[in-house]
Amino acid sequence: MDFSSEPPRMGSVIRGRAPATSLSYHESGSHLFIASENDSSLRIVDCMNGCVATDRPSLIKLQTQGIRTVRATHHGHCVLLSPGLQCGPKINSVYYLSVHDNKILREFSGHTGVVTGISTSPLNDNFLTSSVDGTVRLWDAGVSGNPSSQLKLPQNVEGSPIASFDTTGLVFGVSAKLAGDEGHHIQLYDARNSSVGPFSEMKVSRKELEQKIHACGSTPERAYALSKNEWTSMEFNKSGKQILFSSKGVVVSVDGYEGTVLHSFLLEADDNSTSLESMAGCFTPDNRTVLCGNENGTVSCYDASTGLLTRKMKGHVDRVGCVAANPKYAQIASACTNTALWIW
């Protein structure tokens, strides 16, 4: 997806009533799920026609649960979701929801803290969850009850870990912040035999992060502050050669084999302030572009190999808190309160 010569155009806009907190495309590329925690809603978009879906309910309301994160599954009518902060004691569970009849089919409980991330396997019904309780767990969506395994993290990590499958489903990664602001630890697992432990471990030093952030135009003070932030999301590019990490104010790409920091992408804001929310970022399916949502309502398109800005997409009126690339078609989704579908 080369945006340097021909920019994407906004094809349609799906109206919302509260900021979107999570976007997830179905693997077929035909539908997009949009979660909003503040109004406890899940919208379903027909990506082929650029409108709310007509072959299934277009709006799911979960007044008692809320929705923090949504992830599409292999089943076109079922999703995994983690509850919103208003959910009370159920906030630590993950639910398998049938959007066809708005019915919770399974509940996965075991975390003792808020579930902050969900990653589904491209190969089977397995999925990963990460939580503020400091654990990452592997589950089978087809079986209710206890997780298949709880992954062991190094003793010198702190905070909330993050986890993600790669695009093949054969590998997944786990990362957590090292104690004492030393940086971040990354573990890579064979998804078919994760019980033996990681086959690769890498360390990203805070000093290296600071240098990369400063090199892309940040002041020394801001670069130091941003390098200390906890990573909040993790995504592999299609080849597995790069891993993208998001945090407050900055997105960084890391070499998937050596753990070296390749590029950093700074949040853009009209007032140059650092957002209190994590910056949204994702790869395009062809590995060529990194998309980043900004505080000023724009979406920046960066060349993944050089780190240079190639295009800026304008159209949102508020912070772009979610971005996602369609896995099958030439389409991008970005969301503030409203969700825009971009095509080219």
Against a cut of 0.85, is the pTM above it? yes
CA–CA separation, 231 vs 252, rounded Å? 10
In the prediction, which pLDDT does 222 show? 93
CB atoms within 10 A of CB 183: 20
Q: How confident is the model at residue 142 (pLDDT cuts 50, 70, 90)?
A: confident
Please give the biggest Cα pair distance in the chain: 53
Give domain status of residue 228, yes or no: yes
CATH number for the domain harbouring residue 124: 2.130.10.10
Residues of the chain with pLDDT > 90, as a percent, come to 70
Query: Residue 245 falls within a domain, yes or no?
Result: yes
Structural domain contains residue 1: no
Q: How confident is the model at residue 2 (pLDDT cuts 50, 70, 90)?
A: low
Higher pLDDT, 10 or 145: 10
pLDDT of residue 322: 97
**Dihedrals φ, ψ of 34, to 5°?**
-120, 120
Give per-residue pLDDT as tens, 31-88: 999 998 887 788 999 999 988 876 655 567 665 567 889 999 999 899 999 987 655 5
How high does pLDDT run on average in the chain? 90
- Encode pLDDT of 208-259 as tens digits: 999 999 998 899 999 999 999 999 999 999 999 999 999 999 999 999 999 9
pLDDT at 3: 67
pLDDT tens-digit map of 159-195: 899 999 999 999 999 999 999 999 999 999 999 999 8
What pLDDT shows up at residue 179?
94
User: Residue 4: inside a domain, yes or no?
Assistant: no
Question: Does a structural domain hold residue 84?
Answer: yes
**Position 331 pLDDT exceeds 70:** yes
- Mean pLDDT, to the nearest integer, of 1-17? 80
Average pLDDT over residues 88-106: 83
Domains of the chain: total: 1
Indicate the SS3 state at residue 161: strand
Q: Which domain holds residue 209?
A: 9-343
In this prediction, residue 40 carries a pLDDT of: 77
In this prediction, residue 282 has a pLDDT band, given cuts at 50, 70 and 90, of: very high
Helices marked H in 228-341? none
Question: How far apart (Å, rounded) are the C-alpha atoms in residues 232 and 247?
Answer: 5
End-to-end CA gap in the chain: 9
Instruction: Please indicate, yes or no, if residue 242 is contained in any of the structural domains.
Output: yes
The closest alpha carbon to 47, from 330, 321, 336, 344, belongs to 330
> Which pLDDT value is given to residue 7?
74
pLDDT on residue 275: 54
In a domain, 278, yes or no: yes
Q: How confident is the model at residue 276 (pLDDT cuts 50, 70, 90)?
A: low
Q: What whole-number distance in Å separates Cα of residue 67 and Cα of residue 301?
A: 28
DSSP H or E run through 225: helix 220-227
Give the pLDDT of residue 143: 83
